[in-house]
Amino acid sequence: MNALRKAQSAYRNDSQAIRTDRGTEYEAFARTTHRLKTAGTDPAARPVLAAALHENRRLWATLAADVASDANALPTDLRARILYLAEFTRRHSSLVLKGASRAPLLEINTAMMRGLRKKGEQT
């Protein structure tokens, strides 16, 4: 770690140091959704789009593994819906690479972010 990064780490806002699981999930969705949204559509931007789709798939695969765990405390119906969305995301990502719209992926991620934000405001 270089000196600048050490200084930034030492003087960062304390509120960043305390983050809930929900806040971490929100940030992961926000970062990934931004990458999906800003990836270009021309052939030169294809590697950037592919990387964004891969990141999104990894995010959803991680979420799917978490909700598939017996230790997950979410309600069964919510867990099933998240698993369905993870599978849809996996399949639709392949279609996006073939030219389909990425809008459904952006809509799903944005809805997840709204849900995470809403839940965060209730606690």
> Is pLDDT above 60 for 121?
no
Domain that holds residue 81: 22-122
Question: Cα separation of 86 and 114, whole Å?
Answer: 17
The pTM for the full model equals: 0.78
- In the chain, the percentage of residues whose pLDDT exceeds 70 is 80
- Do residues 33 and 107 touch, judged by C-beta distance below 8 A? no
- Give the residue among 64, 59, 57 at the shortest CA–CA distance from 94: 57
Interacting residues of 28 by C-beta distance below 8 A, sequence separation 6+? 59
Residue 10 lies in a domain: no
Domain tally, the chain: 1
Is the predicted pLDDT of residue 53 greater than 70, yes or no? Answer: yes
| pLDDT at residue 17 in the model | 52
In a domain, 108, yes or no: yes
Dist CA 33 CA 106 (whole Å): 6
* Residue 12 counted as domain residue: no
Is 4 inside any structural domain? no
Q: Is 16 part of a structural domain of the chain?
A: no
